[in-house]
Amino acid sequence: MSLFIGSCCLSPPLVMGILNVTPDSFSDGGQFQHRDAAVVRVRQMVAAGADIIDIGGESTAPGTTAVSEEQELQRVIPIIEAIRNESDVPISVDTSKPAVMRAAVASGASLINDVHALRLPGALEAAAELGVPVCLMHMQGEPHTMQQAPHYDAVVTEVRTFLQERILVCEAAGIPRERIIVDPGFGFGKTLQHNLDLFHHLPRFVAIGLPVLVGVSRKSMIGQVLDVPVTERLAGSVALAGLAVWLGASIIRAHDVQATSHAVRMCKAVKTGRAGKE
């Protein structure tokens, strides 16, 4: 299953490097807000093996507050333009706002990564008009309250049903199935047990027949299982990246690109019986 993102035809499993241009992201907030630092970071991630760069201008970590459309545009667009001026690496924009989607794609982004699964007013229409791939993520509640008391009767079934319904909505709006990626939304309105159940049953999401994105890098589920702070979650993150690839994930979203890329490539080599990145 190849993924066409912009002018690139990419062969999964892929590593999506995280670039948060925010002051309050849970792991790297404030490190890459300025254009020069962000561009240097992108160079490092591409050299380390990133296939896609995911740029976000609004933190969606538990307890954070929303930012204005104008503020998000000011954070994200200059960075996208600077990256595109010197690299053809596929750029994903991590946003739920239609205006940011439009400006980001006009500036060189070629993938929309939306934690709200195109449910905000105008987002579905914008994504359909822009003609780029979209990633639909499941989230129960809103970022500032989602971890207060998440509840499901059957988390795997409910999350899978939600994603299937959003796929149908997207198709009805004119977004073809081959432009859709799905994300179970680990850590977004889920307890540790919910996250473990979703990961254990990841093949059920792969069975939908679309690329599955897994984003668990440095997340609290690792801290809860291993009893370690954010700064000590590399091993757990890499372990989950390898497991996700083994279970069929197509895209691994990661902070620690080189270690993740190495794990992904080794898992792919063993799973396919062939060495080499392609």
Give catalytic residues, as residue numbers. 219, 253
Q: How many CB atoms lie within 10 A of CB 250?
A: 22
Are the beta carbons of 245 and 13 closer than 8 angstroms? yes
DSSP state of 61: S
**Residue 196 to residues 21, 175, 202, 225, Cα–Cα distance (Å):** 29, 31, 10, 10
Residues found in the chain: 278
**Alpha-carbon distance 37 to 13, whole Å?**
28
Pairing of strands 111-114, 14-20: unpaired
Tokens of 165: 């319904």
* Cα pseudo-dihedral 187, 188, 194, 200, rounded to 10: -60
Q: How many CB atoms lie within 10 A of CB 66?
A: 15
Q: Which residues pair with 214 in a beta bridge?
A: 252
Tokens of 62: 């538990």
Pairing of strands 14-20, 213-215: unpaired
